[in-house]
Structure 1
Amino acid sequence: MLSWLKPSPLLTESEQQWLLDAFLWAFEHFDADYFRNHSRLVQPSNEFFQGQSSSTEQMAAQVFAQVKAHSGLLNWPIQLLGPGQMPEQQFPLMRFSGALRGEQAHCVEHSHAIFVSYNPQQINQPQDLIASYAQAFARIMIYQRGVLPPGGEAMIGAATEVVASFFGFGVMLSNTVYQFRGGCGKCYNPYANRASELSEQQHVFLLALFCFIKGEKQGTAHLKGHLRSYYKKAHKVISTLANHSPNPMLLSLLSKEQV
């Protein structure tokens, strides 16, 4: 009778389960050691994105290099090309020694470089640019590993966003699902918006999961105001999972990675 007074859940059970399964899949296949020891929550701040630029091309290149470094892919043969310069490309054969990510990752064999481009409309929306690069790098890593996400090939688009969040870019991914048009709409540029298959709630859940595992206390510092209530709900759900989940791998990740 009073069920209408109960707060609505952040996600459906099936949504939550897929996100958990996909995050565990990322942990299993995309260098768990790097995640444990080096991954950080990347914020849209001068601490993570430094330098000044005098042109669209220079800014795009700076952000590309910084996102690549924060992803742990600095030693991967990934190069930036300008808009309209992208060739048709086949994914190269690559072989690594030491690790997949970080300074210990050494690409000992690759047939050719992988090229990434950017949307120049996003230069004035840097969080969209950062998130788009992170998604591109995530997709490259998925294809390099050759492992399908939970749900198979149909879920690769959504899985790239999970892996990008696993890299530490959950704040920017959450903030750029939806861009407010503004009072008069003059500053709104639909061509600059990032394409997202996951909802704001789903992204915030992944962000809260990353922060919970890493013991990160600044998950909402740069998060859009209306997303913070989602974050609180997600953190509460994840705290419950840490005590009651029947999944031993998830329990291990939630309990042993606390800082």
Structure 2
Amino acid sequence: MFNFLKSKPIISKQDSMFQVETYKWLLKYFGGKDFYEEAKLILPTRQYFPSKVKDPEEAAIETFEAVKKYAGMEEWPCKLVAQEEDINPVVGETLVVRDTPSSALGTFEYKGEDEVIITYNPASLSSPTQLVATFAHELAHYLTGTAIEPPPGGWDNWEFATDITATFLGFGVFMANSTFNFSQYTGSGSQGWKTTNSGYLTESEHIYALAIFLLLKSVPVDQATSCLKPNLKKLLKKAVKEIDNSNIIAELKAIKHEEPELAACQSTNL
């Protein structure tokens, strides 16, 4: 008999399988005590980001160091560099240039001999949530770039796996909240709006990855929903219920952690 009241899964079966396989990969190489005992759900609150800074550059450095600390990568050597500022699309009181090019939100580059450079777009300084998500993504590149085994589906899927890794490191709320943004601007004689998308996963996919993290870590859902955008709160509760009614968590908890051999990091642009 058909069950017409059965709700549609929040992501496709294929996408769910990819997330589960990616979590298995992460737990195998980067799990163990580091994940189950040390990793925390990081939230956009003063508890985690209490610093008061004097200028944008200091804000970027303080935020980056905090993200490194919470990711368990405080001692990993890398240099933070600001990119060139994007072109301002507003060129006159009533003239706005459409589709102006913009730099990547962040990049990760491994130059060899422990020289790692992470860059960020200065425009992200106006959005602390986006800045944290960018740093988490690039540090996730740094971490997973040391794996001797490629992510599920090969290195072509690295960007998707990296977004999941950022959530695995505790930054799922930031990743979900920064996926889609709407903003308005008003100037002398001009006004308008714009939307931006960041990362490689959809909001639903980020929420699904966050739900897995919460269930693996036994973190109350309310801790995450308290800081999520309104449209994502209900989605997270649905994802948690959906996963909780499956054998996904038991399957993931059965994965044994192995100490990975370090491999040469790859470089990437977001």
TM-based fold match above 0.5: yes
Per-residue CA deviation, residues 203-247 of structure 1 (Å, 9 max, x unaligned), is 001111111111111121101110111111111112112xx45x9
Could you tell me how far apart the structure 2 residues matched to 1:88 and 1:234 are? 31
Aligned-residue offset at 1:90: 4.1
SS of structure 2 residue aligned to 1:114: strand
Q: Which moved more, 1:37-46 or 1:146-155?
A: 146-155
Q: In angstroms, what is the RMSD of aligned CA positions?
A: 2.8
Paired residues in the alignment total 230
What TM-score comes out, normalization by structure 2 length? 0.77
Q: Distance in 1 between matches of 2:23 and 2:199?
A: 17
Aligned counterpart, 1:137? 139
1:94-148 residue CA offsets vs partner (Å, 9 max, x unmatched): xxxxxxxxxxxxxxxxx23211121111111100000000000011112122431
Return the structure number with greater relative CO, CA threshold 8 A, min gap 6.
2
**Match of residue 17 from structure 1:** 17
State whether residues 181 and 197 of structure 2, in contact with CA within 8 Å, keep that contact through their aligned partners in structure 1.
no
Deviation of 1:8 (Å)? 2.2
> Offset at 1:186?
5.7
1:33 aligns with 2:33: yes
* Native 8 Å contact 1:81 1:117 kept in 2: yes
How far the C-alpha of 1:61 sits from its partner, in A, is 0.4
Match of 1:203 among 200, 203, 206: 206
Paired letter, 2:228? L
Unaligned runs of 5+ in 1: 93-110, 254-259
Could you list the per-position Cα deviations for residues 4-24 of structure 1 after superposition, in whole angstroms to 9, with x for gaps in the alignment? Answer: 654322111111111111111
Map 1:43-122 onto structure 2 (within 5 A): 43-84=43-84, 90-92=110-112, 111-122=113-124
> What is the letter of the counterpart of residue 177 of structure 1?
T
Q: How does 1:176-255 map to 2 (within 5 A)?
A: 176-181=178-183, 193=196, 195-217=198-220, 218-241=223-246, 244-245=247-248, 249-252=251-254
Give % identity. Answer: 26
The equivalent of 1:97 in structure 2 is none
Unaligned runs of 5+ in 2: 86-105, 256-270
Following TM superposition, by how much is the alpha carbon of 1:47 offset from its aligned partner in structure 2, in angstroms? 0.6
Larger Rg: 2
